[in-house]
Amino acid sequence: MKRKLQINLAAQSMFNDRGYSATSMRDLAKVVGIEPASLYNHYSSKEHILNAICFDMAEQFFEALNDLPKIESPSEELENSIRSHIDVITKNIDASRVFFLEWKHLNEPSLSEFKQMRKSYEAKFVSIIKRGIKLNEFHHIDPKVAVFTLLSSLNAIYDLYKPGRKFKTEVIADNICHILLSGISKIKNK
């Protein structure tokens, strides 16, 4: 089972660097240190590797969110959710990038299943924001726009965290939380 993990990790890194389509099974095999045909003893196809990476990450995002304590204040609940999300990303920096960008190379029926999972994950955030607006804790923004803004901005983590690793995880998390929750400017906007 060590080989399978090895292949998975190498694929994470390579799918992320070059993209799924630009990564060949021959390249992957070379990095792992085996012959291309040997990969098929562990995964039945290239797409199954992508499948494993994407759905593993989906599971992790969901679990992290579900493990959070129930909290009344939407503000705090949102912060917890954002931090949980950031936590999963920073602990799976390559895989989460694949999850975000390469999922479109999945085939049916996995593709539909994946889209469905993403949708319900986003829905959890949307409902927090809706509640926050109702309770007058949040500004009157469009919940969907807010969630998309929020989730995509978290992709920034990759650029900040991976290349030079100049930033500490907590610093990034604190800053992003602050920007999204309190904004950049102190001055009343609009």
Partner DNA sequence: TTAATGCACTAACGTTCGTTAGTAAAAATA
Partner DNA sequence: TATTTTTACTAACGAACGTTAGTGCATTAA
Cα(20)–Cα(154) distance, integer angstroms:
21
120 contributes a contact to DNA by CB under 7 A: no
For residue 187, the tally of other CB atoms under 10 A from its CB is 6
Return the number of the residue (15 or 125) whose C-beta is nearest DNA: 15
For residue 190, the tally of other CB atoms under 10 A from its CB is 3
Q: What is the CA radius of gyration of the chain?
A: 19
User: Which of 53, 95, 117, 129 is close enough to bind a second copy by CB under 8 A?
Assistant: 129
What is the smallest separation between the CB atom of 16 and DNA, expressed in angstroms?
A: 15
User: Which of 5, 19, 24, 73 is close enough to bind DNA by CB under 7 A?
Assistant: 24
What is the smallest separation between the CB atom of 41 and DNA, expressed in angstroms?
A: 4
The region of 44-52, 97-105, 134-142, 180-188 touching DNA under the rule CB under 7 A is 44-52
Binding mask 4-43 for a second copy (x = CB under 8 A): -------------xxxxxx---------------------
Angle of helix 93-101 versus helix 74-91 axis, rounded to 10: 110
Cα(102)–Cα(145) distance, integer angstroms:
22
The DSSP 8-state label assigned to residue 154 in this structure reads T
16 contributes a contact to DNA by CB under 7 A: no
132 contributes a contact to a second copy by CB under 8 A: yes
Is the separation of the CB atoms in 64 and 85 below 8 Å? yes
- Count of residues binding a second copy (CB under 8 A)? 54
108 contributes a contact to a second copy by CB under 8 A: no
61 Cβ contact list (under 8 Å, min separation 6): 85, 88, 99, 121
Return the number of the residue (38 or 149) whose C-beta is nearest DNA: 38
User: Which of 9, 25, 71, 177 is close enough to bind DNA by CB under 7 A?
Assistant: 25
Cα(150)–Cα(175) distance, integer angstroms:
13
Question: Which tokens go with 112?
Answer: 């539909």
What residue ranges bind a second copy (CB under 8 A)? 17-22, 75, 78-79, 101, 104-105, 129, 132, 136-139, 141-142, 144-146, 148-156, 159-160, 167, 171-172, 174-190
